[in-house]
Amino acid sequence: MHRTITALCLILSFALPGCSGSSSSSGSQSDSAATGGAEPKWTIAMSQCNLGEPWRAQMNADLKRAAAEHPEIRLVFNNAENDTLKQRSQIEEFVSAGVDLIMVCPKEAQPLTEPIAKAYRSGIPVVVIDRQVLGDDFTTFIGADNVAIGREAGRWIASHAKPDARIVELKGLMTSVPAQDRHAGFREGLGDVGEVIFEADMQWLEPQARKEMDSALARFDEIDVVFAHNDPGAHGAYLAAKAAGRAEGMLFVGIDALSHEGIAYVNQGLLDATFEYPTGGTVAIETALKILAGEEVPKNIELGTSTHAQAKYEDE
């Protein structure tokens, strides 16, 4: 009896982390965009690598919204729950189900290149979003460029801060490619304006960012600009500076511009600016429609960023 319960708990504890998504635990949810009785002509299957990150939930929401305007397509969402092999079998299932188009946000490049290539070679168009795969056996790649976004943020700070500004950079997890790219782009865009006096890895986490900012505040009496690799980081830094009574006159800049995070913080007057890391949801649907209509699409579609700054910067 005792042993059975132990075994049961073991099974439970390992089955549960899988359900990390915010949506149904089955990991699959169908969203028929059909309206007014029109039968959808095409089925698009989407495999999202995980829904634990708010940004990915936002991408699915954007896709859903864009697809809702086109009754001729039916969009089916799948959540790979951060499991490479699960994502691989999802792509294989799409092929055997004979869907008309596959969208995939690969969890990682190497192990998913082969399944995606197989699907593509079987004649199903594949739209790869956000993360690259190797080779070129896919129809098109849609993604944003973190170097370009970091550069844009650097330039904005260079033009809004004083030339000898003392800057704190709160970096994302530096073993991750987005953090490395944002860092490189930022330094490039900043040019020779200001001096980065304190940099720390806050691992994309808000409490960590607040802690590091506390240290920066303790160590330096003058800080003019805080640049964080994501908006929660910039928000944590703002809270630290505010608690120290030093937020006034300090610039706070973040990246991502999710509507309930970065944009909300800018609208509430906490952050000065945030730079959108676009999900590409709308572009993906538009591109998919072109492919289904038989049009040529570019192999690589780069998404631009947009700046969301407080209203006071608009006339400049």
Contact positions vs another protein (CB under 8 A): 2, 5-6, 9-10, 12-13, 16-17, 19-23, 51-52, 54, 57, 174, 198-201, 203, 206-207, 210-212, 214-215, 217-219, 232, 236, 239, 243-244, 259-261, 264, 267-268
Residue 32: what residue type? S
Considering the complex, state which of residue 98 and residue 269 has its C-beta at the smaller distance from another protein.
269
On the CB side of 83, CA atoms within 13 Å amount to: 15
Q: How far is the CB of 254 from another protein (least distance, A)?
A: 14
**Do the Cβ atoms of 147 and 177 come closer than 8 Å?**
no
Considering the complex, state which of residue 125 and residue 281 has its C-beta at the smaller distance from another protein.
281
> Per-residue DSSP letters for 19-56?
--SSS-TTSEEEEE---TTPPPSEEEEEEES-SSSHHH
Beta pairing, strands 307-309 & 273-276: antiparallel
What does the block give as tokens for 139? 């129809």
Considering the complex, state which of residue 12 and residue 293 has its C-beta at the smaller distance from another protein.
12
Q: How far is the CB of 307 from another protein (least distance, A)?
A: 19
Considering the complex, state which of residue 2 and residue 312 has its C-beta at the smaller distance from another protein.
2
Q: Which residues contact 195 (CB under 8 A, 6 or more apart)?
A: 164, 165, 166, 167
Considering the complex, state which of residue 120 and residue 204 has its C-beta at the smaller distance from another protein.
204
Considering the complex, state which of residue 152 and residue 201 has its C-beta at the smaller distance from another protein.
201
Q: How far is the CB of 191 from another protein (least distance, A)?
A: 23
- Sheet holding 28-32: strands in order across? 28-32, 73-79, 42-48, 101-105, 126-129, 140-144, 300-303
Q: How far is the CB of 9 from another protein (least distance, A)?
A: 5
Q: How far is the CB of 206 from another protein (least distance, A)?
A: 6
What does the block give as tokens for 82? 């951060």
Say how far residue 173 (Cα) sits from the centre of its chain.
14
Q: How far is the CB of 184 from another protein (least distance, A)?
A: 17
